[in-house]
């Protein structure tokens, strides 16, 4: 337990220390965010705000997770695999940001380049989980003391889930502090799920216990990094995380859920991220079916709330509270005797 607290504090303090030193560098390099005219008009004042700040909390998360890593388990190591998959998904976002910000190509990566990269990373991680004896093809069903064995279909299903969740996290990052806030709550929840599972399963093999604790350390390090990032990312934001940060978070969230065999629990823990993607899908379908009508004032849905009169701080608070309540529900639904 002490290791988890230290991981959170180490990443938090590290983020608070490097933030004031990195921000001037981002400004000097003119790594400013481009605000598109299709977005809310109020966001035009954010034009030029430094972006790619996700590199900072990604760094503190990885360093804290490595420093406080317990025993190493080679190919089966949860902590190492989480770092790898999170960094790989982050690199896709980093390249996209780099092309948009430095190369001045507004659209960043061509859509098929991004899709191909995400498919390769997601399929590789799904295969890894399938082959890992501590994970396999079974997933836990919330509220029921049962597991669902997906068999070989685990790989394509989890590949699709991972791609969807990484892009959902990316879509969520549209207001100051919104993704950072819900990620703090979600990360702590994954850590608690891992910890509670270990405490409840006295007969759990030592390797699995060690892996679950390494996962919990990573989760708390991510929570601490996002907490520290909020110091600079809350409204009005001094820096944005960019696709770099949002895809790191997306990869980490889905990675933790898959290693815990709890991808279905993302319905609760990552509900607001899912809502962002679903609102975009619903909007587009409704627009085509009705030949130009819209069900939301703007999608993702957080922009609908914004255009309906809510302030960014109010929306962030609402999303964080909803995430907190649903995360508590997910903890209550955890079948600790599996």
Helix and strand numbers (H, E) in the chain are 12, 2
| Residue written as token pair 């815990």 | 260
Query: How far is 197 from 48, CA to CA, in rounded Å?
Result: 45
pLDDT of residue 112: 82
User: What integer pLDDT is reported at residue 203 of this predicted model?
Assistant: 79
In this prediction, residue 338 carries a pLDDT of 47
Closest among 72, 86, 61, 71 to 9, alpha carbons compared: 61
3-state helix, strand, coil in the chain (%, to 5): 70, 0, 25
Cβ-count burial 101-128 (b if 16+ within 10 Å, e if not): beeeeeebbeeeebeebbeebbbebbeb
Residues 6+ away with beta carbon under 8 Å from 68:
3, 6, 7, 10, 217, 221
Name beta bridge partners: 32.
50
| pLDDT, tens only, 280-320 | 999 999 999 998 899 999 999 999 999 999 999 999 999 99
**How confident is the model at residue 111, as a pLDDT?**
80
Q: Within its chain, how far is the Cα of 256 from the centroid?
A: 10
Tokens of 304: 């609908």
| Contact (CB, 8 A) for 314 and 126 | no
Report whether 73 contacts 31 (CB < 8 A).
no
Going by C-alpha positions, the residue among 104, 149, 109, 154 that lies closest to residue 130 is 154
pLDDT of residue 98: 87
Write the pLDDT tens digit of every residue in 97-144: 888 887 766 667 888 888 999 999 999 999 999 999 999 999 999 988
| CB burial string 204-217: b at 16+ within 10 A, e below | beebbbbbbbbbbb
Residue 104 has a pLDDT of 67
CB atoms within 10 A of CB 308: 11
* Helices 178-200, 312-332: inter-axial angle, 10-degree rounding: 10
List helix spans (H) across 29-110.
Answer: 54-67, 78-101
pLDDT score, position 31: 72
What averages of pLDDT result for each successive group of 10 residues across the chain (338 residues)? 94 96 85 63 71 94 95 91 97 91 72 91 97 95 91 97 96 94 98 92 85 97 97 93 96 97 96 96 94 91 94 96 97 75
Contacts of 41 (CB under 8 A, 6+ apart): none
Q: How many CB atoms lie within 10 A of CB 154?
A: 22
Give the integer Cα–Cα distance in Å for 183 and 250.
9
Radius of gyration of the chain (CA): 19
């Amino acid at each position: 337990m002490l290791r988890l607290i230290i991981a959170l504090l180490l990443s938090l303090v590290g983020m608070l220390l490097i933030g004031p030193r990195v921000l001037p560098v981002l400004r000097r390099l003119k790594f400013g965010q481009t605000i598109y005219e299709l977005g809310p008009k109020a966001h035009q004042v954010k034009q030029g705000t430094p972006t790619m700040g996700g590199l900072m909390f990604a760094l503190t998360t990885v360093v804290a997770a490595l420093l406080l890593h317990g025993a190493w388990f080679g190919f089966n190591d949860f902590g190492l695999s989480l770092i790898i998959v999170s960094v790989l998904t982050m690199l896709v976002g980093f390249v996209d940001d780099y092309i948009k910000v430095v190369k001045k190509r507004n659209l960043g990566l061509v859509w098929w380049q991004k899709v191909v990269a995400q498919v390769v990373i997601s399929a590789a991680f799904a295969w890894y989980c399938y082959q890992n004896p501590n994970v396999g093809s079974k997933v836990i069903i919330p509220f029921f003391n049962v597991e669902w064995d997906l068999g070989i279909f685990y790989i394509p299903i989890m590949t699709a889930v991972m791609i969807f969740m990484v892009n959902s996290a990316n879509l969520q990052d549209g207001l100051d502090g919104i993704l950072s806030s819900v990620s703090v709550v979600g990360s702590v929840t994954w850590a608690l799920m891992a910890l509670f599972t270990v405490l409840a399963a006295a007969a759990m093999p030592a390797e699995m216990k060690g892996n679950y604790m390494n996962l919990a350390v990573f989760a708390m390090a991510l929570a601490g990094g996002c907490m520290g990032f909020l110091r600079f990312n809350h409204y009005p934001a001094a820096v944005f995380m960019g696709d770099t940060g949002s895809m790191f978070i997306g990869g980490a969230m889905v990675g933790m859920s898959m290693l815990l065999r709890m991808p279905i629990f993302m319905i609760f823990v990552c509900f607001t991220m899912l809502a962002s993607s679903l609102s975009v899908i619903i909007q587009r379908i409704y627009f085509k079916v009705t030949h130009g009508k819209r069900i939301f004032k703007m999608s993702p849905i957080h922009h609908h709330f914004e255009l309906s009169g809510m302030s960014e701080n109010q929306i962030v608070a609402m999303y964080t509270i909803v995430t907190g309540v649903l995360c508590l529900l997910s903890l209550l639904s955890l079948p600790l005797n599996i």
